[in-house]
Chain A
Amino acid sequence: MNNVYYGRLVFELSKPGRVGYSLPKSEISGYCISELPEGLKRQSKTILPECDELTVVRHYTNMSNNNFGVDTGFYPLGSCTMKYNPKLNEELCALPGFNRHPSTPVEYVQGSLKVYDEVQRTLAEISGLSRFTLNPYAGAHGELTGLMVIKAYHLQRGDVARTKIIVPNSAHGTNPASAAVAGFKVVEVKSLPDGTVDVEDLKPLLGPDVAGMMMTNPNTLGIFERNIPVIARLVHDCGGLMYYDGANLNPMLGVCRPGDMGFDVMHINLHKTFSTPHGGGGPGSGPVGVRKGLEHLLPNPQVEKKADGTYDLHCDAQSLGCISSFLSNFTVIIRAYAYLLSMGKENIPMAGKLSVLNANYIKECLKSHFELPIEGLCKHEFVFDGLRPEYGGDHHDPAHVTTLDVAKRLLDYGFHAPTIYFPLLFHEALMIEPTETESKDTLDDFIAVMKRIAEEARDNSEMVRTAPHNTPIRRLDDVKAVKEPKFTFKNL
């Protein structure tokens, strides 16, 4: 990453009279927008800049130099699975043959429909479920869709009393938010000191008003919920369904499938487990899978493989409805297909195992310097509760070095920060997920830097508290951004 800060906006590069495009001269004359009634036309000028092509290319290229990505460095970002994004996938999803209008008759897009169906089937086998829809756009959209499946299931049985969704207090923030958008009341279940669901706390919450329970397994602390068979039985016995948040699916690949754990509905983040790029906040993809008997509830339209081997789109009258304009982020699905084909049955399970190896290795190497609240084997990620007291991390000392400080100092050393202050179970949570695509060499560098930061925190805490020092810009004034809100160039 370039340390010279490029802070200009394209509006500041504009000069009247420049153009950055070329269109053919119109061969059709006699029609002009000025014919439209005056009251239907735009009244105001726009703010759009006037730029030549090189100005635009240089502008965005300079901006990219102020950006960190997986291709520039290591992201130990918990619950985000920032693995390498293979370049073959980029090449294939951009093939002109896939750039089709979404209302093209199905006979003319058989190749695209086959991609969709193959990905759907492969995900079903990997998850131990019956069928997937790839229509949801992202993980949270998948959660919402999955919760709609649960609601539709109860309503179609005529059971209108199930208004509650149970969510562990360690859950991703999207879980309760998705449940609320789907019109459910959220009930929290407590965690035991080892971070797993407290079954005794769960029992009294169960009853005829429970629609289902959402869980992540391994949970957000990277701990496998060993009681999952008991929990699933309890929820099923009271008539509820089990929802699996697939954000943490990576370590389970080929080892232990959500369907076999007792889950009925789940989502997968293709932009986590199946290597599609995160794009600085999407486009992602959040396929939703269901166990046998719930397939008809999946959103419309559904891709169907017919007996003669051709593909069709169909709408099921019992479906929960539509949740997207078309078939979602199609090029993301093509990327995931390329990844699944490339990896095959040999490497997909290996991805999970190596991600667990990497996480445990970092944990063992750093627990001398950082507070490890939960001992034992983790899966793909784990959580430190800040620096150990002897390295300036004593929470009771008002001058202690915080997790935020450590995170910012890491940026100086060329690493992205871990996920911080999540899960909410610890004051100074620092959540690390290395993924399988990082080498031991990279992990050793990261471990050395983390130890060095701990020593700096002990010996020169001011330097850590004022970090970062070497990034294109320094720490930002978040309070000012809220108190004097400026969301557009016009406000500057």
Chain B
Amino acid sequence: MYKYFPHTSDDIQQMLGVIGVQSLDELYAEIPEELKLKRELDIPSEKSEVEVRRIIGDLAAQNKPLLCFAGSGSYDHYTPSVVPFLASRSEFSTSYTPYQAEISQGTLQYIFEYQTMMADLTGMDLSNASMYDGSTATAEAMLMCVANAKKRNKVLISATSNPQVLRVVETYAKYHNVELVKVPAADGVMDKAEAKALIENDDVAGLIVSQPNYYGIIEDFSGLADLCHAHKALFAVNSVASALGVLRTPGEWGADIACGDAQSLGIPMNYGGPYIGYLCTKNELVRKMPGRLVGATTDAEGRRAFVLTMQAREQHIRREKATSNICTAQGFMCLFVASYLSLMGEKGLREVNEQSYAGAHYLHEALLKTGRFEDAFGPKPFLCEFTVRVKGDAAELRKALAEKGFLLGVETEGMPGCLTIAVTEMRSKQEIDSLISNI
């Protein structure tokens, strides 16, 4: 019949006989005739494997490669060959959500490892088993703030957050009737005086800040956690996950919630997904935490084993009173992160950051030396991403470089004439020099 259908005509006849109908169409006898589609679907005919491979192969080839000097939420980091190899184990990829723990210890164990690693990197007590992406993870952090405050409905978010994150958080806020207030930026960082004034009104459920921020700048959050806590607000920090190997952690800043995207930990860019949102928090907020959680317990013979737990928070029990509607998220991507971090370890993660730091600072300095760029905000501490103002037309420059095979950052939103540029350990000195000589 067809390669994905195992039925022979004999099988079908026998099965119809057991059911007591004459034809496959009779299985739909109860559906009113006027609802039925009385024609073929207007889509192409079936294609062989050879043809499908040709069609999709041609489309992949239409995507012209550009040497990546862009970040802003997606980073071109090194993925060890072991990571996709292990991810191709179909015992992992073709499994369902691990509700039957006795036959799902593989999935449950790597999620437990992922939870341990993310909680540790962020300096928090625990992590959930993934969110869709960094933007929706931040939106869920906002909903956690509101759920925790009960009678407060206002959440502050730094205007220096990535606009992609801001737009998604704004959407969730609008539809969930949360009053989202942007704390303005001053000189490329969140205006702490403005934040203080807003929090001191005693009507704020939480404050969300970003690290490094959209412009690549590493912000100083000293005092913010104490300020929030003194006014019964939660403090949430959105970070680029790989940077947590070297930057002060959300936990060390005193945060209650850490959120963001963990694509930077071994996941390919894949034109935007799949990535993995992470959400970590303190023990006392676990019941406000959305998403699945894996816990350790024992089996009937006393062996340590892992299981989905605290499900009383979730939608299949609590329905409209659940902490969120999150069900299927990005569980499989936990395997990417866990295997990546197992290979890299602390040393590897540090080396990735050091090399990215060196490459970014080298490029930054070289660009300023050309005289055609200046810092968008004067000298600021940054890791692997920075924002410069182009003397001339930034969009034209980016376009001209694309024609030469370079993706020179992104056009900085809200800052006409500026580009936000990133360098990772994937860029050799030769590639950076080649970019500079092409400018």
Instruction: Answer yes or no: do A and B interact.
Output: yes
Q: Which of B60, B349, B350 makes the CB contact (< 8 A) with A95? A: B60
A374 interface contact, C-beta 8 A: no
Evaluate contact between A137 and B43: CB separation under 8 angstroms.
Answer: no
* Partner-binding segment picked from A56-64, A235-243, A393-401: A56-64
* Partner-binding segment picked from B163-171, B226-234, B370-378: B163-171
Query: Contact flags (1/0) for B236-269 with A, using CB distance below 8 Å?
Result: 0000000011111100100000000100000011
Residues of chain A within 8 A (CB-CB) of B271 are 98-102, 104, 109, 112, 326-327, 330
Q: Which of A33, A49, A125, A332 makes the CB contact (< 8 A) with B41? A: A125
Query: Contact flags (1/0) for B109-127 with A, using CB distance below 8 Å?
Result: 1111101110111010111
The 3 closest A-B pairs by CB, nearest first: A326-B272, A281-B331, A97-B60
Residues of chain B within 8 A (CB-CB) of A104 are 63, 66, 70, 271, 407
Decide: A28 near B101, CB < 8 A? Known: A72-B91, A183-B175, A488-B116. no
Of the listed residues B36, B106, B301, B432, the one surrounded by the most CB atoms of chain A closer than 10 A to its CB is: B106
Evaluate contact between A41 and B248: CB separation under 8 angstroms.
Answer: yes
A131 interface contact, C-beta 8 A: no
Evaluate contact between B28 and A68: CB separation under 8 angstroms.
Answer: no
Evaluate contact between A7 and B303: CB separation under 8 angstroms.
Answer: yes
Nearest CB on B from A319, distance (A): 9
Evaluate contact between B177 and A331: CB separation under 8 angstroms.
Answer: no
Which residues of A from 278 to 294 have beta carbons under 8 Å from B? 278-284
Q: Which of B66, B301, B315 makes the CB contact (< 8 A) with A174? A: B315
B397 interface contact, C-beta 8 A: no
Evaluate contact between B104 and A67: CB separation under 8 angstroms.
Answer: yes
Q: CA A148 – CA B173 in complex, angstroms? A: 12
Q: Which of B167, B268, B300 makes the CB contact (< 8 A) with A321? A: B167
Evaluate contact between A330 and B273: CB separation under 8 angstroms.
Answer: yes
Q: Which of A48, A173, A255 makes the CB contact (< 8 A) with B349? A: A48
Evaluate contact between A47 and B63: CB separation under 8 angstroms.
Answer: no
Evaluate contact between B354 and A26: CB separation under 8 angstroms.
Answer: yes
Query: Contact flags (1/0) for A321-362 with B, using CB distance below 8 Å?
Result: 111111111111010011011111111111101101110110
* Partner-binding segment picked from A85-93, A197-205, A455-463: A85-93
B351 interface contact, C-beta 8 A: yes
Q: Which of A29, A128, A487 makes the CB contact (< 8 A) with B119? A: A487
Nearest CB on B from A149, distance (A): 10
Q: CA A51 – CA B70 in complex, angstroms? A: 31
12 contacts between A and B (CB under 8 A): A39-B248, A53-B82, A97-B59, A186-B319, A256-B36, A277-B94, A327-B273, A341-B52, A357-B7, A439-B7, A477-B300, A486-B296
A438 interface contact, C-beta 8 A: yes
* Partner-binding segment picked from B8-16, B195-203, B385-393: B8-16
Evaluate contact between A473 and B97: CB separation under 8 angstroms.
Answer: no
Residues of chain B within 8 A (CB-CB) of A482 are 295, 309-310, 312
A71 interface contact, C-beta 8 A: yes
A40 interface contact, C-beta 8 A: yes
Evaluate contact between A102 and B115: CB separation under 8 angstroms.
Answer: no
Residues of chain A within 8 A (CB-CB) of B132 are 137-138, 141, 282, 324
Q: Which residue of B lies closest to A327 (CB)?
A: B272
Q: Which of B80, B104, B133 makes the CB contact (< 8 A) with A68? A: B104
Residues of chain B within 8 A (CB-CB) of A5 are 105, 303, 305
Residues of chain A within 8 A (CB-CB) of B16 are 357
Residues of chain B within 8 A (CB-CB) of A82 are 96
Decide: A322 near B177, CB < 8 A? Known: A104-B271, A407-B100. no
Residues of chain A within 8 A (CB-CB) of B37 are 128, 254-257, 260
Decide: A475 near B272, CB < 8 A? Known: A338-B56, A485-B286. no
Evaluate contact between B6 and A438: CB separation under 8 angstroms.
Answer: yes
Evaluate contact between A40 and B248: CB separation under 8 angstroms.
Answer: yes
Decide: A325 near B165, CB < 8 A? Known: A27-B429, A255-B31. yes
Evaluate contact between B115 and A487: CB separation under 8 angstroms.
Answer: yes
Evaluate contact between A19 and B348: CB separation under 8 angstroms.
Answer: yes
Evaluate contact between A254 and B274: CB separation under 8 angstroms.
Answer: no
Evaluate contact between A341 and B66: CB separation under 8 angstroms.
Answer: no
Q: CA A183 – CA B172 in complex, angstroms? A: 9
A192 interface contact, C-beta 8 A: no
Evaluate contact between A322 and B15: CB separation under 8 angstroms.
Answer: no
Query: Contact flags (1/0) for B325-367 with A, using CB distance below 8 Å?
Result: 1111111110100110111111111111111011101100000
Residues of chain B within 8 A (CB-CB) of A183 are 175-177
Evaluate contact between A326 and B164: CB separation under 8 angstroms.
Answer: yes
Q: CA A458 – CA B293 in complex, angstroms? A: 37
Q: Which of B35, B92, B346 makes the CB contact (< 8 A) with A228? A: B35
Evaluate contact between A417 and B247: CB separation under 8 angstroms.
Answer: no
Q: CA A96 – CA B148 in complex, angstroms? A: 44
Residues of chain A within 8 A (CB-CB) of B210 are none
Residues of chain B within 8 A (CB-CB) of A49 are 341-342, 345
Nearest CB on B from A53, distance (A): 6
B49 interface contact, C-beta 8 A: yes
B428 interface contact, C-beta 8 A: yes
Decide: A282 near B330, CB < 8 A? Known: A19-B345, A46-B121. yes
Query: Contact flags (1/0) for B175-190 with A, using CB distance below 8 Å?
Result: 1110000000000000
A10 interface contact, C-beta 8 A: yes
Residues of chain B within 8 A (CB-CB) of A114 are 59, 62
B194 interface contact, C-beta 8 A: no
Evaluate contact between B116 and A490: CB separation under 8 angstroms.
Answer: yes
Q: Which residue of B lies closest to A45 (CB)?
A: B346
Evaluate contact between B126 and A473: CB separation under 8 angstroms.
Answer: no
Evaluate contact between B46 and A346: CB separation under 8 angstroms.
Answer: yes
Q: Which residue of A lies closest to B249 (CB)?
A: A42
Which residues of B from 21 to 50 have beta carbons under 8 Å from A? 21, 24-25, 27-32, 34-37, 40-47, 49
